[in-house]
A = this chain, B = another copy of it.
Amino acid sequence: MPTLEDLGEKEVVRRILAMLEDNLPVGPGDDAAALDIGDRYLVVCSDIVSFGTHMPPGMSCRDLGWSAVAVNYSDLASMGARPMGAMVSLALPRSMDVDDALSIVAGTKECVAKYGGELLGGDTKEGSGHVTVTALGTVAKEGIMLRSGARDGDLLAVTGRLGRAAAGFLALEQGEDIPSAKEALFRPRPRVEEGMLLSASGAVTSCMDISDGLAASVHALSRASGIGFQVIREAIPEGVEVDEVEGDRDLMVLYFGGDYELLFTIDPQAVDRLYEAGLDFSVIGRARGTDNILVQEGEIVKLEDRGHEHFRP
């Protein structure tokens, strides 16, 4: 019998998704699920963060709590939803300091207070150190953004600047103190306002967050929309932090993950609406053909489909 390690996270998740029904307006497999509650969609998502895999040295319990909400709010943002709140469930070792446990809750509360909604409750049990957050939000039915809407000729764009979380991780490994890179890694900022703005613009045809890395996300958007993307390497906005650490730029910007920016496609006829709205975003390519390619220094190369994956060593 294969183990989870043998298969790897993506194949395990694929098999789980295959077991789920699909009677929902937006089913499992997108960043979040959507339920019809009358005039709007209720958007729901869950993400687990763990002491082991999501807590680099120097990250505080408060940062971990913040991150647990932030990664979920990023999924709400990718659908264009306004947050209603978060359920926070803690599986904690009995030997844990009570103040550390309360710091996790304080971090979740801080992130909720910053980005909207309420801390709704949760559960606390004995365990090896996991924080599971389920976030809820609502979005106008006509405003919901999915992974599947990209069409031939659409512009491909991202919010913010990439590679910052990766630079933070490498800086830690190298013993370098780069505060803004550390901040990017420990205190990810979900693009909640930007997601609502994209949704309201009516100019966006598909959207997701790039938490697993830009390259893996372009491939995911491509699979969901059934179209390829041409990405211009030089057009990808890079955080200044990328210049401040030693390391492979492409790894940081394309493959590492941990940047909670939004990747989206724009109807080219309507792109002015986003500029007029004052949104900070960069066009990095367009939808065209069936393959996902990277134009780098004038050369066309294949955009590799790799990023962060769990269960694998």
Contacts and interface: CB of A to CB of B under 8 A. Distances in A.
Interface of A: 1-7, 9, 12-13, 15-16, 19-21, 23-24, 27-29, 32-33, 35, 37-39, 42, 44-48, 50, 52-53, 84-85, 87-89, 91-99, 101-102, 105-106, 109, 118-128, 130, 132, 134, 136, 138, 310-311
A130 to B, nearest CB: 5
A172 to B, nearest CB: 21
Given A44-B136, A98-B7, A124 B16 contact: yes
15 contacts: A2-B98, A28-B122, A33-B120, A37-B42, A44-B134, A45-B87, A45-B121, A47-B89, A50-B126, A87-B134, A89-B132, A124-B310, A127-B127, A127-B130, A134-B134
Given A38-B39, A44-B120, A121-B33, A93 B20 contact: no
Given A3-B98, A38-B38, A38-B39, A12 B46 contact: no
Contact of A98 (B6, B28, B127): B6
B125 A53 contact: yes
Most chain B CB within 10 A, of A24, A48, A311, is at A48
B46 A102 contact: no
A71 to B, nearest CB: 10
